[in-house]
């Protein structure tokens, strides 16, 4: 009985854990399809794909993607090269220096990204001044600085990935190649590099992702070339829209897609390797057929289902129009707003009456004691200023609802959390 209780609690724990881990991403993805102006999953308004088109019309986002790609490419090249050199050096450095050297090349992982960004900026600015170059020189270029700054620590990640593989490399292989007449460069290219290829690929992917999502370092170095992450941060900090959810959704989908693809590829290699081991030489060539791709390969099956789902969703998106639904919701909102306004008016009417009555009373009282009003506890609430303020808050909402041409954009302020505060009171 104890074990079954334990097992249940393990699964409950796992469920909570993965809910914490994946829940936010799922909810964020869902908000990309809700027509609500503010990204949220509840209340659900209308299924819409408009946020995607809004996303693809955003020049800053597109420009950010372009910059991110350029910087990512530069970072991949530089950090994989430095990481590989660093790893090679680590395997053959003088033993007395090894600990120091390792500490130096591992340190950038632990140094806060902010610090790396600042030190890069300060250092290259100095070099630039030292060389007597202007503010528009290559050394103060945002792309250069960002690549340099990011590579400082991304190269450490690459080094760790590469050194793990390099430790399994038999130096005798290089020696054998040399012994058979190869030059050092040939031995590197023909023996070491092919051996390292899987690790280099992993390191490159890792480097690209790290570069693509880096914020802390880039935020100090980007200069005139904001990356996607920088643009996103700007947007998220100063007002959020479901277009960002749409972008997040795309990234989530791509990530899942590539993860599955990778998984399926690994599985396939295992299947092929198993087949090779069993096959004799004659059978081997051309025996691995495509359907073999799926045998015992759950990841591949999921991958295909996933691809089909994506295609059908995109297909739906091209024909689906949420206009009717949005109009309905808008109508409903208008009605609600009107109702609220009515209520408000009624309330205001009552208040006015009440106040008039009070004033009448006070007016009598004032005659005997002419003192400023609003002394009473609820005085402020009924002050004319307060009332007009409330009225102003309502105004934009009423306006947009009565302006059919306002379109989606018009909702803006109404669903801003701050604006919502007062009506919901």
Partner 1 sequence: MSAGVGVDLENLWIRFGDFVAVRDANVNINGGDFFSFLGPSGCGKTTILRAVSGFLEPSEGNVLIGGNNMKGIGPNKRPTALIFQNLALFPLMKVWENITFSMEIKGASSAERRKRADELLDMIALPDQGDKLPSELSGGQRQRVAIARALCAEPDVLLLDEPLSALDLKLRQHMRTELREIQKRVGITFIYITHDQGEALTMSDDIAVMRAGVIDQIADGKTIYNDPSTAFAASFVGENNVFRGKVKQVMGSEALITTNRSGDLVARISTANQGKMKEGDEAMMFIRPEAFAIAPDGATGDHFVTASVTHEEFEGNVFNIFTEGEGGKEIKVSIPNLGQSFESHTGQAITLEYETRNAVIVPAGELAAE
Partner 2 sequence: MPGFLKEFLNRNGTGMGLAILGLVLFWTIGLIILPQLSMLDFSFRPNLPPPEIGGPKDVYTLENYKYLVYGPEGGSQDYNVVDLRIFFRTLIAAVCVTIFNLILCYPIAYYLGQTKGNHIRVFALMLIIPYWINEILRAFALRIIFGETGVLNTVLVGLGVFDTPFDFIRNDIALYAGLGYAYILLMIFPIYNVIESLDHNQIEAARDLGAPWWRIHWRVVVPYAKPGISSGCTMVFMLSAGALAAPQILGGPSSLWFTQLIYQQFNDNNDWPQGAAYAIVLLVTCILFVLAAMRLFKVNMGDIGK
Name the site residues for partner 1 (rule: CB under 8 A).
170, 172-173, 175-183, 186, 190-191, 194-195, 276-277, 281, 284-285
Smallest gap from Cβ 77 to partner 1, in A, equals: 24
Cα atoms in the Cβ-side hemisphere of radius 13 Å centred on 264? 21
Those residues with Cβ within 8 angstroms of residue 412's Cβ, 6 or more apart along the chain or in another chain: 37
Q: Of these partners, partner 2, partner 1, none, which one is at the site of residue 106 (CB under 5 to 8 Å by kind)?
A: partner 2
70 within 8 A of 146, measured Cβ to Cβ = no
Task: For the beta carbon of residue 204, count every other beta carbon within 10 angstroms.
Answer: 20
Smallest gap from Cβ 33 to partner 2, in A, equals: 13
Smallest gap from Cβ 119 to partner 1, in A, equals: 38
Between helix 323-368 and helix 384-401 the angle, nearest 10°, is 160
Give, as ranges, the residues between 401 and 420 that touch partner 2 (CB under 8 A): 417, 420
Q: Does 209 bind partner 2 (CB under 8 A)?
A: yes
Q: Does 251 bind partner 2 (CB under 8 A)?
A: yes
47 strand-pairing partners: 34
Segment interacting with partner 2 (CB under 8 A) among 103-111, 305-313, 372-380, 402-410? 103-111
Q: Does 259 bind partner 2 (CB under 8 A)?
A: yes
Q: Of these partners, partner 1, partner 2, none, which one is at the site of residue 256 (CB under 5 to 8 Å by kind)?
A: partner 2
For CA atoms 112, 114, 117, 123, the dihedral sign is negative
* Residue from 10, 274, 313, 327 in contact with partner 2 (CB under 8 A): 10
Smallest gap from Cβ 164 to partner 1, in A, equals: 17
How far is residue 405 CA from its own chain's centroid? 33
- The residue assigned the tokens 């799922």 is 26
Segment interacting with partner 2 (CB under 8 A) among 50-58, 205-213, 268-276, 399-407? 205-213
Q: Does 122 bind partner 2 (CB under 8 A)?
A: yes
Give, as ranges, the residues between 62 and 91 that touch partner 2 (CB under 8 A): 81-82, 85-86, 88-89
Smallest gap from Cβ 162 to partner 1, in A, equals: 17
Rounded Cα–Cα distance for residues 208 and 228 (Å): 13
Smallest gap from Cβ 302 to partner 1, in A, equals: 30
Those residues with Cβ within 8 angstroms of residue 40's Cβ, 6 or more apart along the chain or in another chain: 31, 34
Q: Mask of contacts with partner 2, 149-188, x by CB under 8 A?
A: --xx--x----x----------------------xxx--x
Backbone angles phi, psi at 34, to 5 degrees: -95, 135
* Residue from 47, 65, 77, 240 in contact with partner 2 (CB under 8 A): 240
Nearer to partner 2, 25 or 383 (CB): 25
What does the DSSP 8-state code read for residue 42?
A: S
Rounded Cα–Cα distance for residues 351 and 82 (Å): 74
Q: Does 213 bind partner 2 (CB under 8 A)?
A: yes
Q: Of these partners, partner 2, partner 1, none, which one is at the site of residue 281 (CB under 5 to 8 Å by kind)?
A: partner 1
Residue 323 to residues 40, 73, 92, 338, Cα–Cα distance (Å): 19, 41, 67, 22
Nearer to partner 2, 88 or 326 (CB): 88
Helix (H, G, I), strand (E, B) or coil at 41: coil
Token couple for 317: 């998106």
Q: Of these partners, partner 2, partner 1, none, which one is at the site of residue 417 (CB under 5 to 8 Å by kind)?
A: partner 2
Nearer to partner 2, 23 or 379 (CB): 23
Rounded Cα–Cα distance for residues 365 and 359 (Å): 9
58 within 8 A of 243, measured Cβ to Cβ = yes
* Residue from 108, 142, 226, 410 in contact with partner 2 (CB under 8 A): 108
Q: Does 34 bind partner 2 (CB under 8 A)?
A: no
Q: Of these partners, partner 1, partner 2, none, which one is at the site of residue 215 (CB under 5 to 8 Å by kind)?
A: partner 2
Q: Is 25 exposed, middle or buried (0-12, 13-18, 19+ CB in 10 A)?
A: middle
* Residue from 12, 15, 104, 395 in contact with partner 2 (CB under 8 A): 104
Q: What is the 3 state secondary structure string of 62-105?
A: HHHHHHHHHHHHHHHHHHHHHHHHHHHHHHHCCHHHHHHHHHHH
* Residue from 33, 144, 212, 293 in contact with partner 2 (CB under 8 A): 212
For the chain, counts of helices (H) and of strands (E): 17, 0
């Amino acid at each position: 009985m104890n074990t079954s209780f334990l097992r249940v609690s393990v699964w409950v724990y796992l469920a909570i854990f993965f809910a914490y881990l994946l829940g936010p991403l799922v909810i964020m993805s869902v908000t990309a399809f809700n027509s609500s102006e503010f990204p949220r999953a509840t209340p659900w308004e209308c299924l819409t794909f408009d946020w995607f088109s809004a996303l693809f019309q955003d020049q800053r986002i597109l420009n950010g993607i372009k910059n991110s790609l350029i910087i990512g490419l530069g970072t991949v090249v530089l950090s994989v090269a430095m990481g590989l050199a660093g790893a090679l050096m680590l395997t053959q450095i003088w033993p007395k220096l090894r600990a120091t050297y390792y500490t130096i090349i591992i340190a950038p992982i632990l140094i806060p990204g902010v610090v790396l960004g600042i030190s890069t900026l300060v250092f290259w600015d100095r070099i630039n001044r030292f060389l007597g170059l202007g503010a528009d020189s290559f050394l103060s270029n945002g792309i250069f600085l960002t690549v340099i700054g990011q590579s400082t620590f991304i190269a450490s990640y690459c080094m760790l990935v590469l050194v793990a593989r390099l430790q399994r490399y038999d130096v005798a292989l290089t020696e054998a190649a040399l012994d058979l007449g190869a030059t050092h460069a040939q031995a590197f290219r023909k023996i070491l590099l092919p051996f390292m290829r899987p690790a280099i690929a992993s390191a490159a992917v890792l480097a690209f992702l790290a570069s693509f999502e880096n914020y802390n370092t880039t935020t100090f170095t980007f200069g005139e070339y904001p990356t996607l992450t920088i643009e996103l941060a700007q947007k998220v900090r100063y007002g959020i829209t479901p277009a960002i959810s749409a972008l997040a959704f795309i990234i989530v989908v791509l990530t899942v897609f590539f993860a599955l693809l990778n998984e399926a590829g690994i599985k396939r290699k295992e299947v092929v390797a198993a087949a090779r081991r069993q096959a004799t030489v004659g059978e081997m060539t051309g025996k691995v057929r495509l359907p073999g791709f799926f045998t015992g390969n759950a990841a591949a099956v999921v991958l295909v289902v996933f691809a089909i789902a994506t295609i059908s969703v995109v297909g739906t998106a091209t024909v689906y129009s949420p206009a009717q639904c949005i109009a309905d919701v808008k109508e409903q909102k208008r009605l609600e707003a009107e109702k609220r306004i009515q209520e408000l008016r009624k309330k205001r009417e009552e208040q006015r009456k009440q106040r008039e009555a009070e004033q009448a009373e006070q007016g009598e009282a004032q005659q005997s004691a002419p003192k400023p009003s609003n002394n009473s506890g609820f005085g402020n609430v009924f002050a004319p200023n307060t009332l007009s303020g409330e009225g102003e808050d309502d105004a934009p909402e009423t306006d947009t609802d009565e302006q059919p041409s306002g379109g989606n954009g018009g909702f803006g302020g109404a669903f801003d959390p701050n604006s919502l505060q007062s009506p919901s009171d």
